[in-house]
Homo-oligomer: A and B are copies of this chain.
Amino acid sequence: MTPGGAKPRLDRPHALDLLRQMLRIRRFEEKCAELYGAGKIRGFLHLYIGEEANAVGVIRALAADDAIVATYREHGHALARGIGMRPIMAEMYGKAAGCSRGRGGSMHIFDAATRFYGGNAIVAGGLPLAVGLALADKMQNRARVTACFFGEGAAAEGAFHESLNLAALWKLPVLFVCENNFYAMGTALERSESQTDIRRHAESYNVNGAVVDGMDVVAVEVAATRAVASIRESGTPYFLENRTYRFRAHSMFDPELYRDKAEVDHAKERDPIHLFQDWGLTAGLLHDADVKTIERDAAAEIEDSIAFAEAAPWEPVEDLLRDVHTPLTAQAAE
């Protein structure tokens, strides 16, 4: 499965964790789709189903004080980063107990504790932020990495170009992760990029990079680990192109006129969870009972998060104008 063919040596806890992370993201989002249908979650909801290996593999390679900048399709990243499912679910509901106090919703998950800088709903809007976070680290002599996730559609935006150039020019510790799921809404890669080999762009800024099978969680983790090591050693950016696929519609409004069911079905044959689970079972690293436990735990965690979100109070309307500016008390405390 991995480029070299064989899996690197994984121990059992590691394998269990990879499966657990991917599965709880999957089940969480399946439930979110239901909750959307039930009117509990509103606005836009962009599911990551099919792409879980990317967030899980990359984020495992990060240290606790590294930073993450993500997109509107970020539930998986938030969960993999260790933000609690309760505050995430409450955020999806728009409750004040949400991680962004309910103000952001699905597209704007933020978490200071884990240095999770959103949840950005402007395509490519997060890239310059990642450059700046890395610049701050460099200027303050901190050996931290900022991982920046975005889709292949974002690569056409001017912000992509400006950000790659700045990161390379100033030698900043940014890990660019292009999650290439081959579609930007309904626009296929070949209708959006004259150069479909996106890594070629990175090369044109003299940024090192690699292409990874984004359906293979171990391959992703290996590549990300290598990338992060390279960044920490050289202080310069690194570019990962993770080839993956979105199994669901772009958002809950998308009738998917632009691709065949056959194409989707074909992609599903390489479901990252099945691939890894089958491999783990075959290799004897995982057992059927493990899968059951993980599924049961995930289900329980999700039920718990829903109960939490349901019970959480709405923010009072009188607080409408909160958090436009930093209150003076917070300023004094800084």
Contact = CB atoms under 8 A, between A and B. Distances in A.
Interface of A: 156-162, 164-165, 168-169, 191-195, 200-201, 203-207
A200 B194 contact: no
A176 to B, nearest CB: 13
Contact of A169 (B161, B194, B203, B205): B194
A156 B128 CA distance: 14
A55 to B, nearest CB: 27
Nearest to A159: B158
A203 B156 CA distance: 15
A127 to B, nearest CB: 11
Nearest 3 Cβ contacts at the A-B interface: A158-B158, A168-B194, A161-B161
A290 to B, nearest CB: 45
A130 to B, nearest CB: 16
Nearest to A169: B194
Given A169-B192, A194-B205, A194-B206, 14 more contacts: A156-B165, A157-B158, A158-B158, A158-B159, A158-B160, A158-B161, A161-B161, A165-B193, A168-B194, A168-B195, A194-B207, A195-B204, A195-B206, A201-B204
Given A204-B201, A206-B195, A162 B158 contact: yes
A192 B203 CA distance: 17
Contacts of A157: 158, 162
Contacts of A158: 157-162
Contacts of A200: 204
Contacts of A195: 165, 168, 204-206
Contact of A204 (B165, B168, B192, B204): B204
Contacts of A168: 194-195
A194 B156 CA distance: 19
Contacts of A165: 156, 193-195
Contacts of A191: 169
A200 B200 CA distance: 10
Find the residue from A192, A194, A200, A206 having the highest chain B CB count within 10 A: A194
Contacts of A203: 204
Contact of A162 (B156, B201, B206): B156
A36 B193 CA distance: 46
A182 to B, nearest CB: 16
A157 B99 CA distance: 35
